[in-house]
Structure 1
Amino acid sequence: MKKILCAAAAVAMLAGPALGADLPRRPIHDTVVMPVAPAGVWTGFYVGAHLGAGFSSRFNNDVGFGLGSASGFLGGLQAGYDYQADRFVMGIAADLSYAGISRRHIDAIGPNDVRTSLNWNGSLRARLGYLVQDNLLLYATGGLALGNVQARELVPAVVTQSRSLVGWTAGVGGEYMFTRNVSALLEYRYTSLGRANYLNLTTAPRIGFEGHTLRTGLNYRF
């Protein structure tokens, strides 16, 4: 009897793989998994770079120069620190941009030929945002703004003068975290810089700047 049971067990063990080989196999499909940043990872330092454009800007002045509808491109670097508390993210951000926003005023009756340009600008801002999902932050920002405005006169004299101006900036934006270390942003800001005296120019104007910018960039988070 014992020999019969051992023989039956051996037959069952040999038959199992053979029967399994005859069963139809289910196809295996490859799946693509998009990386998603885990929750609670916005706290920390970051650095990055940005590109953008200025539009509907103007160089304010007190002598009647037509220096509105200025536009141009900008690009530069940014850095900051964020702290996440539940679904809120608060922090401080700074940026510095090379700018090519300019406008020229020509008046044959004056006569005047003046070209103004925003050579660089920067900011130091607070930022407060809300996580609509773990890796998507919507935020508002505002704070101190700096900029260098150059005025170049060609008529009636040939002179150039640059002044560093101080003002404020505010805007809104969004930032999407692709991975734990890489995020992308899209941001709109309005900037207003106070006027300064350009005494080297013939009319000694007081010139300032106000304008709108739209920028996009990438951040690396530590």
Structure 2
Amino acid sequence: MAALPGATSDHWAGPYLGAYFAAGAGRARQNLASTAESAQRNFNGAVLTTNFVASTTTRGNAVGDTTGSMVDLFAGYNWRAGNIVAGGQIEGTLFSDVAFKTAGEQTSNSRQVQNNVVTTGVNQVTMQASEQLRSNVGVIGRAGYLVTPKLMLYGLGGLALGHFTFPDPGNADGPNGKWVAGYTAGAGGEFKLTQRWSLRGEYRYMHFDIDRNETRTSSSTQIQGATTILRSNADTTSRKTSADIHIAKIGAVYGFCYCD
């Protein structure tokens, strides 16, 4: 585009579009807490008796690696004052296979009362989980300094909104998707190849806290002669995952600058 009347020719200011290819790794930590309760009560005439009560509490911790790659599209706008360039950018993921797998141990403590007989137990098993970042939308701000007329070094920070899928075995329809708000920060450099085309190299840090809470309840009634049998079950599970991702990005940018 030609320079606007009265405007100074500037190949750093104005709107731009571009694409990133990114790959990286990080760390994930997950805490699990669950409770399961079941009971059977018999109602015979005016008498209600409890025949069976059971409860189990489970706690677990797991850690693992986060790895993968992604392709992002982005658009933004720059303003320039001297050697300072600042602006805003929106970005969205076109493809992502970023995933984390955690492993650890979980311990279950159970207590059962049947016909006034109390039984307790402790069970320890391996805990494993996996989750995938399928999409990401970001809104960030950038501020940079022109080291030379063609090279800008900059820092950035902003909001990241990630869509995570979790392979819930209780969901027959497939992965359980959830959008989670996080944040991103980083730094990079941009080099002008021409007035409108430039290349970027960038480091990006992303952090997400993913909370998943599930509650399932069921009850049934059975009549046997003069006795009514009441059964109930309740299960609650909470998974809290903290994921850190360190990403290296390389991108190509086309600027709709106010150029001669």
Q: Would the TM-score normalized by the shorter structure come out above 0.5?
A: yes
Which residue, out of 30, 38, 56, partners 1:61? Answer: 30
What TM-score comes out, normalization by structure 1 length? 0.73
**Superposed, which structure 2 residues align to 1:155-174 within 5 Å?**
160-174=175-189
CA distance in 1 between counterparts of 2:255 and 2:209 reads: 34
**Superposed, which structure 2 residues align to 1:105-184 within 5 Å?**
105=102, 110=125, 112-154=127-169, 160-184=175-199
**Superposed, which structure 2 residues align to 1:61-80 within 5 Å?**
61-63=30-32, 64-80=60-76
- Is 1:204 equivalent to 2:238 in the alignment? yes
What TM-score comes out, normalization by structure 2 length? 0.63
TM-superposed CA distance for 1:220, in Å, is 0.7
CA distance in 1 between counterparts of 2:171 and 2:80 reads: 56
TM-superposed CA distance for 1:83, in Å, is 0.8
Q: Which residue of 2 aligns with 1:213?
A: 247
Q: Which residue of 1 aligns with 2:18?
A: 48
TM-superposed CA distance for 1:85, in Å, is 0.8
Q: Which residue of 1 aligns with 2:38?
A: none
Which runs of 5 or more structure 2 residues have no equivalent in the other structure?
1-8, 33-59, 106-123, 217-235
CA distance in 2 between counterparts of 1:221 and 1:150 reads: 35
Q: Say which one has the larger Rg.
A: 1
Larger relative contact order (CA 8 Å, sep ≥ 6): 2
Contact 2:200/2:250 (<8 A) preserved: yes
Which runs of 5 or more structure 1 residues have no equivalent in the other structure?
1-38
Q: Which secondary structure state, in structure 2, belongs to the residue aligned with residue 66 of structure 1?
A: strand
CA distance in 1 between counterparts of 2:215 and 2:147 reads: 52
Number of equivalent positions = 183
Structure with the higher fraction of residues in strand conformation: 2
Q: Rate the CA distance shift 1:135–1:200 in 2: closer, same or farther, 3 A.
A: farther
Contact 1:161/1:200 (<8 A) preserved: no
Q: Which amino acid aligns with 1:61?
A: Q
- Is 1:92 equivalent to 2:126 in the alignment? no
Q: Which residue of 2 aligns with 1:11?
A: none
Percent of counterpart pairs with the same letter?
29
Q: Which secondary structure state, in structure 2, belongs to the residue aligned with residue 174 of structure 1?
A: strand
Which residue, out of 205, 210, 213, partners 1:190? Answer: 205
TM-superposed CA distance for 1:135, in Å, is 0.8
Structure with the higher fraction of residues in helix conformation: 1
Q: Which residue of 1 aligns with 2:98?
A: 101
Contact 1:49/1:218 (<8 A) preserved: yes
